[in-house]
Amino acid sequence: SGNKGCDQCPVESVSWDDIQEFIKKLNAMTGKNYRLPSEAEWEYAARGATNTPDYEYSGSDDINAIAWYGGNNNPYGCKQVGTKTPNALSLFDMTGNVSEWCWDKYSSSYYSSSPSVNPTGPTSGNTRIHRGGGWSTSSVHCRIARRWYSYQDEYIDYVGFRLCRTVQ
């Protein structure tokens, strides 16, 4: 992976399945309820909890201000978190650095016709969603609206994760 020796870099090259094992251990150790965000939760966070203004990337239309991606990332590899501008929720790297696994399974039709309030994703399928661009992707692949999917046991060098926590 590109972040060897960088303790402030995101985890990358991790499968969805491995993340589930990590989450089980983390929840057992902390007594809390961490999980991957749904695709809808991820997009809500990336948009800064608003569509006003409706930015192309998370927090800006200027990708160089908010993201490490293939067009500005030399040398290649993920970069330390917090070195670009955050979005309105103070979240860094939502549309750059590493693409992030979501809970949802992939369906080409579900998301466009899903419920408008808190959709939970399709119940069948053999791939999982990851959102946001990565350190080696083009700017078009970093757009908030861009959807990716991969097999849940797949390792991809520019794909990592961001956890959320259910508070009771």
pLDDT tens digits for range 47-71:
999 888 899 999 999 999 999 999 9
DSSP 98: S
Q: Per-residue pLDDT for 150 more than 90?
A: yes
Can you give the pLDDT at residue 1?
46
pLDDT, tens digit (0-9, with 9 covering 90-100), for 155-165: 999 999 999 99
pLDDT at 124 > cutoff 80:
no
Mean pLDDT of the 114-143 span: 84
Q: Is 145 exposed, middle or buried (0-12, 13-18, 19+ CB in 10 A)?
A: exposed
Rounded CA separation 103/37 (Å): 6
- Band of residue 76 on the pLDDT scale cut at 50, 70, 90: confident
Tell me the residue length of the chain.
Answer: 168
Judged by DSSP in three states, 15 sits in coil
**Coarse DSSP helix, strand, coil percentages of the chain, rounded to the nearest 5 percent:** 20, 15, 65
pLDDT band at residue 116 under the 50/70/90 scheme: low
Q: What is the mean pLDDT of the chain?
A: 91
